[in-house]
């Protein structure tokens, strides 16, 4: 990496110029982040500052979802730079949400995984989402139906059925997060899925999947064979 301020670097190494010439895919995480940070601090370029932040937080995902209090512990970081990072992350979330809403059908496992992880993967508390689908498996609405503590969420199948019927849903995908980082289902998760699957069968609404997400992983009841394909 070139030393000194970015303006003194060769043009081809400056992140903005490199992006213009080679495209965003050619830039490292630190170089992309430096574009949002815009400037570094005394004696440290924006790229070097970005590298330090990525090292301190351990991953790009952890940095993107950090709080103002967490990032303010680092020299040169405050409300302005935190706001720029949060705005960039929110744009990514909204882009994925638009893609899901505009998709011909919600059948791509990778698309579903990316969408759910950006929505709830790094939340500090559990939330339970319902994705209501029409007869073509297009998304009608993604609703946060329940919210809980760091360890558990109280989920009521009766409420899920009511909300699905109110939206005239033809199918349902449910998802929740594990703030602990372990996406594997608990005995309670498995029992809930079985109860919900049985209840939905009574009103002819198939439960297509139950997904568990965390900042480190993703679990699909469908892919694991715990829900039969319909």
Instruction: State the pLDDT at residue 187.
Output: 92
Percentage of residues in the chain having pLDDT higher than 90: 37
Q: Can you say whether the dihedral through the CA atoms of 107, 113, 114, 119 is positive or negative?
A: positive
Confidence of residue 209 (pLDDT cuts 50, 70, 90): very high
Least confident piece of the model among 30-44, 71-85, 172-186, 191-205: 30-44
Mean pLDDT (the chain) is 86
> Which segment, 52-56, 63-67, 146-150, is predicted with the most confidence on average?
52-56
Contact 125, 147 (CB under 8 A): yes
Q: Give the domain ranges of the chain.
A: 6-92, 105-224
How is the beta sheet containing 207-213 ordered, strand by strand? 139-147, 127-133, 171-177, 207-213, 218-220
Look at the domain 6-92 and name its fold: DNA polymerase; domain 1 (1.10.150)
Contact 24, 16 (CB under 8 A): no
Average pLDDT on 207-212 reads: 96
d(CA 227, CA 214): 20
- Report how far apart, in Å, the C-alpha atoms of 177 and of each of 31, 193, 215 are: 30, 14, 9
Instruction: State the pLDDT at residue 216.
Output: 81
- 172 versus 18: the higher-pLDDT residue is 172
Overall residue count recorded for the chain in this entry: 230
CATH of 105-224, picked from 3.40.50.720, 3.40.140.10, 3.40.309.10, 3.40.640.10, is 3.40.140.10
The two tokens of residue 198 are 């049985």
Confidence of residue 150 (pLDDT cuts 50, 70, 90): low
d(CA 86, CA 64): 6
Question: What are the pLDDT digits (tens) for 106-132?
Answer: 667 788 888 898 888 888 889 999 999
The yes-or-no verdict on residue 101 having pLDDT over 70 is no
Q: What is the tally of helices (H) and strands (E) in the chain?
A: 10, 5
b (16+ CB within 10 A) / e for 159-195: ebbebbeebebbbbbbbbbbbeeebebeeebeebbee
Question: What are the pLDDT digits (tens) for 171-186?
Answer: 999 999 998 889 999 9
Question: What are the pLDDT digits (tens) for 59-100?
Answer: 887 888 888 999 999 888 889 888 988 888 888 777 777 766
Give phi and psi for 145, each to the nearest 5: -95, -35
Instruction: State the pLDDT at residue 215.
Output: 82
Residue 221 CB coordination number (10 Å): 23
């Amino acid at each position: 990496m070139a030393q000194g301020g970015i303006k003194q670097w060769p043009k081809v190494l400056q992140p903005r110029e490199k992006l213009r010439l080679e495209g965003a895919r050619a830039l490292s995480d630190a170089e992309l982040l430096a574009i949002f940070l815009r400037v570094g601090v005394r004696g440290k370029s924006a790229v070097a500052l970005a590298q330090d932040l990525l090292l301190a937080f351990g991953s790009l995902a952890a940095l993107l979802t950090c709080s103002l209090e967490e990032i303010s512990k680092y020299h040169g970081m405050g409300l302005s730079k935190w706001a720029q990072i949060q705005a960039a992350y929110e744009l990514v979330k909204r882009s994925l949400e638009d893609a899901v809403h505009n998709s011909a059908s919600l059948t791509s496992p990778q698309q579903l995984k990316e969408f759910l992880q950006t929505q709830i993967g790094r939340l500090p508390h559990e939330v339970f989402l319902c994705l209501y689908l029409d007869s073509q498996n297009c998304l009608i609405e993604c609703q946060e139906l329940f919210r809980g503590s760091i360890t558990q969420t109280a989920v009521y199948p009766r409420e899920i059925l009511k909300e699905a019927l109110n939206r005239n849903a033809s199918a349902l995908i449910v998802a929740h997060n594990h703030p602990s980082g372990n996406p594997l289902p608990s005995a309670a998760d498995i029992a809930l899925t079985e109860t919900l699957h049985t209840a939905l069968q009574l009103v002819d609404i198939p439960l297509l999947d139950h997904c568990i997400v965390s900042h480190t992983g993703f679990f699909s009841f469908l892919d694991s064979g715990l829900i039969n394909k319909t």
